[in-house]
Amino acid sequence: MGDNSRPLRKRRIKRNENEPGPTAGSALALRAVGGLCLATVPTLIIIDDHKIIRDALRALMGQFADLQVIGESADGRNGVDLVLAQKPDVVLMDMGLPGLNGMEATRQLRERGYGGGIVMISMHTERHLVQGTRDAGADAYVLKEHAFDQLETAIHAALRREPYFSPQLGDLGGDPGMTGGLTPREREVLQMLAEGATAKDIAFSLKISSKTVDVHRANLQRKLNAGTLADLTRIAVREGIAQL
């Protein structure tokens, strides 16, 4: 997490009084100081559980002269803490994160006051997942198979807090899915159960009692018409909440 972090780069730019200033969509934010402008390069954090993907994304970001990667994380919970501590201009996040998936990590970031851009990268095309991610607060949703072609556009849209969704997704309307009626805490518990966490593990991680975990599990089984933990696991994987 946060490895290879570097201090924010700034470039000094001499402004001509007759030249127009940057547009609202410019990636560089300009701050006037003593007759000069300091151009601040937007910062970015990558959250993905596969190091090879993080390395590939960092290399791709290195091709964009107006972006700087300042940190990385391999899971959702630590990623949320890193973003809140570092306050990057934009977050590049995988949907299928262990412990806390990208949708719920996005929801927590927004609930805890993060106001930067969030770009979700996912292999999932299910409408309820895309819509759920947007409702959670993501600005952009890019399909992994089109990431190298679309990420630059998506990131710059997110920096402006404008929506961008891979054109291949089409209309975002549709079925909310089986888990559409779950609360955010129920989705967290469902993901952790599906990933093999015990009630004690979940209680410790979420800072709740084991009895509360049992109540959440019972509610999940009732709402999802799931008789066993195996049934819950199958539903979580099918709905894109957990990956095994």
Does residue 232 sit in helix, strand or coil? helix
Ranges of beta strands (E only) in 48-203 are 68-73, 90-94, 117-122, 140-143, 164-165
Per the DSSP assignment, residues forming a β-bridge with 43 are: 68
* Strongest mean pLDDT among 15-19, 23-27, 46-50, 121-125: 46-50
Q: Which CATH superfamily is domain 43-169 in?
A: Response regulator (3.40.50.2300)
Q: What is the pTM of this model?
A: 0.71
Segment 73-108, tens digit of pLDDT: 999 999 999 999 999 999 999 999 998 999 999 999
Q: What pLDDT is attached to residue 127?
A: 83
* Contact call for residues 90 and 158 (beta carbons, < 8 A): yes
Among residues 110, 209, 211, the alpha carbon closest in space to that of 161 is found at: 110
Note the CATH architecture for domain 178-238: Orthogonal Bundle (1.10)
Domain parsing of the chain, residue ranges: 10-40, 43-169, 178-238
Cα(58)–Cα(32) distance, integer angstroms: 30
Q: What pLDDT is attached to residue 65?
A: 72
| pLDDT, averaged across the chain | 83
Amino acid identity of 160?
R
